[in-house]
């Protein structure tokens, strides 16, 4: 099962330990995460299910290319890292 890990910035605001979930695409992996941790959804995706502007997702250290449909493939041994960038001055 893919392992999903969240940036420390998200962990300060929400309970989001690393999770092992089912899924063959990023959208399926995130849906499995949201089923266990529903509060994460609004931090990571918008109302249409697209990644929020300041969120990036990496699969094995490679940033995904499909930010709208989240269709990038995820293998059973892959690591998915959800990164919320900080902004401001």
Give 28-49 pLDDT, tens digit per residue: 999 999 999 998 899 899 999 9
For the chain, the structural domain boundaries read 3-84
CA 27, CA 11: separation in Å to the nearest integer? 21
pLDDT on residue 38: 92
pLDDT on residue 87: 60
CATH of range 3-84; options 2.60.120.380, 3.30.450.40, 3.10.20.30, 3.40.50.2300: 3.10.20.30
φ/ψ (deg, to 5) at 80: -110, 125
Length of the chain: 89
């Amino acid at each position: 099962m893919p392992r999903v890990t969240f940036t420390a910035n998200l962990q300060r605001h929400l309970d989001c330990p690393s999770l092992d979930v089912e899924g063959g695409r990023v959208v399926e992996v995130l849906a499995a995460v949201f089923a266990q941790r529903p509060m994460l959804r609004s931090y990571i995706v918008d109302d249409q299910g697209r990644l929020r502007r300041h969120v990036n997702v990496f699969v094995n250290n490679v940033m995904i290319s499909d930010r709208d449909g989240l269709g990038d493939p995820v293998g059973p041994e892959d690591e998915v890292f959800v990164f919320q960038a900080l902004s401001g001055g």
